[in-house]
Structure 1
């Protein structure tokens, strides 16, 4: 199974029981243990009794596996202790390192503007280190009712797994131990190769031989495969009386920001409206994809379009929105909000498309790098994206002529 350290494997298995005792409150296991060991709180607040069973003592010790690996996803902010819990998305411990200057700030909800679910930027800037304040302000919040949720960020679906916990424990142990001499020996070998006083071609030959990259019989045993030509994918029109909304995201790491791109088109491929918006980068690319999916639905409601096909190239987000299960991922609250907004539409469908069929939305997302906040065009498109709209269009000849005529009419009108 790939588990070599039995102690870490045992801790990971016990961590599974801790996870169940916290999340699966409808089970008989939870009801029995709660009545006996933590009647007035949860498993993390339970106090170890010297007279308790060996099994319970082992489960209590495994709480550290969850405490050191799990992360809080912010909902209403009432249950997350600012300085005690792990809730920051930045790499590291996930805990706040800024000194506590105000004793009245206890839970994350205290960092909201009173009566809202919006970050109080001025308050955050006063009480946190600059880099930590930026990280907090970039965490997206859902306007709808969501409770705080403890998630496991080491799996794609946010649920605890023994394998991921085991790997986490092994990695933590490796960080606390001195580095292996094998790495240093490897470095000395490569340095020795490149310091050889021989012609360059000999040095390169030795380097390739050590790296097993010479065209020997062993390295050539795999047959060559002919490249399979990829199918050309372009944007396809929706059904009659339905609008298609394409969305995509882009990340600008150097700026610490991200771009959202949304385009609404009709059966003929005519642009109804487009959006290009810059936001703070929330730390995960998939989080930005979830945010732009939610923004696409909200944008449809803003322009009074209620029969839509919502199309994006993030398969992970599309699957999450279409799933009937509650998402425990870091972006799960955004998925919940997207579903809630979609429920007010008269007709909707979320579909995955390859990047080649989503070029215009991608270009709008990339364009957000020059935006101050949000740019919106109604029945129009930014001039620098006209060519992208034509190249990414695939429909009937009549529809293409209609699209060309409308675009020509628009340009003639603008010159007059």
Structure 2
């Protein structure tokens, strides 16, 4: 059987990987020692042409299906890992068949939930991760994707302006439909509750979350958070016809949640005294796209919201509200954002991605001003942050220490 590599674009360096060796036995010099989450399959991180790719060893039909599904989800602008290639037709040195491999691009500055909780000192870390997973679940359900295996293990998490953002990494059980029924959505929630409760019990047994935490009770929060978001995004809002000025309010609220509104379905009752407004959601990532349009920066949704707020403050401080917003954004980028992010010494740049570091500098400035009882300049804040705060942060960009032991992978 001939080796076959199906790739999204030409990737000659893939041929240099040891495809005739079972993934579990790949040589360490070709692997990156990144923390691995729990998976039912063998997963390794390979160094390929200066990049890091996640390699998952699975049956060929499953690999091809998941490859196609991840590409579809990316086209729908959903937060998920990027499918790079599928390698089939593998055989060992004796000619015996080996499972296929699915390759995805490693999501920089992301961590599995176990590593994220171990690095986060806040006691509500597990709840915040579940909140992020609920947001992700709402996003995929809005486009008709039934996940089928919702869990913390099947997502990666990145810091997003002090919160967490979740990215789908396992789509092998998922199905994409025109629209999901309420029963299908609730089925995903039932699966999520069971899986998350088990994952939290496992963390509790390992001493990674408090003993007095009830895993079942905490896992139930995904249902509450999910329904809260779903209703805000899909339910019609009713108000008196005399309050027609409130039509714009739902749009602003949905933008604040990070969603674009395509059009509004506005109806009145038979006597015209009550209006009902139902938004048609276009897609998530409102602030991300707006910041990209103004500055070209690619950041998370919460990070984009925070950076846009700082841009608004900059515009007001320079009295440039009447100027072209892209010109003002260019000046903010050149005089505020880039000088701050470039202040970080090269040896510390893998600690946090630039947008998250910028957010933390703004937070640090506020706390410094409060502590010192006077206004601290941004230059003073970034200097103090780089000297005293950033060096204490764990590395989150790429490879951890070569002799570090990745998180143990066990079957679920």
How would you bin the TM-score normalised by the shorter chain? under 0.3
The structure with the largest alpha-carbon Rg is 1
TM-score, structure 2 normalization? 0.21
Larger RCO of the pair (alpha carbons < 8 Å, separation 6+): 2
TM-score by length of 1: 0.21
